[in-house]
Every structure is written in C-alpha cells, then in structure tokens.
Structure 1
C-alpha cells in the first residue's frame, strides 16, 4: 500500500481492560469510528498510545490487529521510541515483517543527543528498512530539535518522507516548504495549532483528540483544504477547550475521559499513569461536559 503523508492520522490510544490487558474489543470500536469519519491513516504506539509501557508482544499485537480491523482501508504506522539504535532498528525491521506500512521515529530517548548523533540515529534506522518514515520533531517535550540543516542530510535517505511538526512555531511550516517544497511532507503534531498550520500549508494532522472526536477533526481538515475557513473556524472554536487537553503531561488521562464521553473508549490507563483525581478530574470533566452540550452540527465534509 502506498503511504501518502496527507490528511488526518490519529495517534490512537491503547485500550486496556480492568485487568490491565489489551482491550481489543474497545480498540476495534474506536478504529472503526476513525475509519467511518474518513481518517487517512492510523498511528500506533505514540505517547498517547502509552508506548513506553507496552511490551514488544503487545506492540506486535496492535499492529496485527489494526491491519485486520482496517482491512487495507488506510495505512498503519507504528511509532518507534526505543532506548538504543539497535533496539530501534530491530523494531523497524519487525514492523516491516508483520505488515506495517510506515514508521514514525522519535529521536534517541533518555539521552540528549547531539545534532550529529541524532542524524546518524535516524539514518541507521532508515537504512535498515524500506518502510516510509515520518520524523517526529518535538523539541518542547523531547529536548532535541531536528533542524532544517539536519533534514538537508536526512532527506538523502529516500524513505524519509515526512515530519510530524511539533516545534510550536507555525512559521516553521513555511520555512520547511520554502526549503524543501513537497519533498518533505508536513503533518501538524499539535492539536491547538492544527487549523493555523494547515492554512500555512501543512499537508496533514497527527491528531490526539481525534481519538474521541474523529468526525469533528476530519471535518476541520477537509473544510480548510476546501477553502471553507469560516465553517472550519466555527468547529475549531468549539473544539479548542478540548484540544487544549492534548497539551498536558496528563494528555492520555484527559483524552481517555473524552473517549468515555463519546462512547469510544474507557478510562483505563497503565501505571505509573493513574486516572485523574480530585479537582483536576472535575476540571477536565467540566470541559468535556460543556463541549458535549453544544457539540456542533457538521456539514457534509466528505464530499467537498
């Protein structure tokens, strides 16, 4: 399957049972909702997917089951955030063996690598697989920035195709386009900057709140691409208090509470994460409840 780095690609949550096992029934329901809404890909095992707590076997199960659930409708992409280059290469090769369509790569974890070390890390993974790759550029959370000069080197690897742009600097979309044109596809990785990034020329949106609100997310993307900015803004303004739940260390707990509200998931998280408590739980629930009371009517966005 050809992987086109465009459109809405949910970074889906991983569902767990009350007994802390993979909840594949709930997971399948959510994947079906994403497909029904018109997403363009599924990304597994990111931060929102609680990747750091998943075993290798669980990650493989998620890939295999997502391929089964999607039945070729959209590409399935697995995130790689391992502790070593050797470990990352092994995950990349195994993902290709079992049928994943693409990779999202974080920089080296638990070590603030230099620009050269980070570049070599990405190069070695890229050279170990034929799968197309999206680099996750998030210096705010991961303390390593992939600069344009680094991308100049990295784009010599033909399978490095895209960037998940999470620098929080919307002008970076323009800098990337000016320097690389369409050679490097740009997917916004920050929910609260998505509409602005798409207007500026981003090709897609790696979304978080899409896990609970798939149709609203895809509608915003499609409306902006069709030039229907006012209609997109109407939905985006309603969405913003919810989207802000994504820019928090507790984004997983927040978004899983939203999934409960829309019937697309459960609140179960894997320790050391725990469900929200006290005043913070009340605050998040209030945001969700207010949004649910005035959930917008969507236009026929699929045929724009």
Structure 2
C-alpha cells in the first residue's frame, strides 16, 4: 500500500496480558479506535511499542495481525531499531514479506556511530529493500544526529522519503524545507511540538498520546491543515499536560495508563519496565483524570 508520508501516524503501544503474552484482542480495540478517528498510518514496534523487549516472532505476529486487521485502510509501518546492520536487515526482510507498507528506521542502537558509519548503516538497509523509509532523527534520546549534509547523501536512495523530526529544534523544519523542498517529507516526532511543527510546514505527526486520545490528535492535525488555527490551538492547549507525559522516561507506562482511562488499553508493561508507583503514579493519574474530565468537544471537520 502506498504511503504518502502525511497526517497522523500513531506509534502504537504493544498490549500484553497479565501473563506477558501479546494481547491482540485489546490491541485490536485500540487499532479500531485509531481507524475510527481517521489516522493516516499505523507504526508498530517503536520505542513506545516496547520494541527492545519484543521477540522476533512477536514482531512478525504484530505485523501479520495489523495488516490483516486494517485491510488496507491505512499503511502499516514497522520500526527497525537494532545494534548491527545485519540484524537490522533481517527484520526489514520480515516486515516486507509479512505485508508492511514501509519502515521507520533508527540509527544503530547503543553504539554511537560516526557520521560515516551511520550513513553506511542506513544505506545498506535502504539498498536491501524496496519499501519506503522514514529516518528517525532523535539525537536527544539516541545521541546520533542525522545532519542535513548526511540527508543529502541518504536521499540518493529513492526509497528514503521522510524524516521523523525529533531534534527539538523547530528551526530545523525550515532548514529541511529550504534544502530539500518536497523531496524529504517531515513528520513531527515530539508531541509537545506538534502543532508548532505543522504550522511550520511539517506534513505529519508521529504521535504518542494519540494512543489514548485519537480523535483529539487527528482534530488538531485536520484543523491546522484547514487553516482553522484558533480551533486547533484550543484543543492543543487542553492537550498539553497530557502531551508532556510523552517526553518522559516512563512514557510507556504513562500512555498505557491514559489508554486505560479512555477504555482502549491495558496497563501491563514488559520487564524491566514496571507500572508506576507512589507519588509519580498519583501525579500522572491526576493529569489523566483532569484531561478526561475536561475533554473538549471536537468541531465538525
């Protein structure tokens, strides 16, 4: 299925049962809520999806199930986050063989690769597949920045088409537009900068709190793109305390609690993660409860 690299793309959580198995039943409930809200793609196995804890067969099961469930209503994108080039190419092949429409790829994990090594890593993966690729550029969390000069080299691969822009530097959107125009699509990867990024020309939003609040997330995107900025800003201001739960080391636990509150998720996480405890749990629950209680009415789009 063709990817246009625009719109709201949930980086969905992976649902687990209490005995640590994939909970595909609850996963399907959440995916249906995303589809009903009008999202534009589904991203599997990202950081929010607890990618580092998933076994090869679980990733395969998630792709197969999601592709079958969405029935080509939206593209399914698989995240690739690996330590070695060889071990990145293997799940790329699996994703392609099992029906994924595209890939989101992080730089090498754990090892802080040089620019030359990072370019070689991405280049090898791109040449191993026909699937379209979005590069995840997040130097804050992963300590490797893909610079504009590096993108100049990478874009020689026609299937490298988009960037998940998570540098936290809004001016980088303008620099990318000035340098590459429409050749490199930009999707905001930081929930708390999403509306600002869309106003500066980003084509989409790889979102986290969308997992619990899909209608509100899609509404902000659609209203901004329709030029209805004040209406979008009203929802965005309500959303901000919740969006801040995404820029936190416990983002997975935070967002799963929010999914529980909106009835489209469950809390179990996979060790070494554990459910929130004590004062932090109370703090996060208070933010979520306030958000649910004051949930805004969505205008007609």
TM category (shorter chain) comes to over 0.9
Secondary structure in 1 matching 2:249:
coil
Count of residues in correspondence between the two structures:
301
1: CA distance between counterparts of 2:118 and 2:247? 25
**1:1-304 correspondence runs (5 A):** 1-301=1-301
Post-superposition CA distance 1:95-136 (Å, at most 9, x none) = 111111000000000100000100110000000000000000
Deviation by residue 1:57-99 (Cα, 9 ceiling, x = unmatched) = 0000000000011011000000000111001011111111111
Query: Which consecutive segments of 4 or more residues in structure 1 shift more than 4 A?
Result: none
Q: Any stretches of 5+ residues in structure 1 without a counterpart?
A: none
Unpaired segments of 5 or more residues in structure 2? none
Distance in 2, matches of 1:206 and 1:101, equals: 16
Partners of 1:63 and 1:300 in 2: how far apart?
33
Q: Secondary structure at the match of 1:157?
A: coil
- Whole-angstrom distance in 2 between the partners of 1:213 and 1:294: 13
Q: Distance in 2 between matches of 1:37 and 1:297?
A: 14
Rounded Cα–Cα distance in structure 1 between residues aligned with 2:42 and 2:62: 11
1:245-284, Cα deviation, whole Å (9 max, x unpaired)? 0000000000000000000100100000000000000000
Separation in structure 2 between the aligned mates of residue 122 and residue 18 of structure 1, nearest angstrom: 37
Distance 1:2 1:257 in 2: 33
TM-score by length of 1: 0.99
Q: 2: CA distance between counterparts of 1:94 and 1:265?
A: 27
Q: Distance in 2 between matches of 1:69 and 1:99?
A: 12
C-alpha displacement at 1:172, in angstroms? 0.4
Q: CA RMSD, aligned part only?
A: 0.4
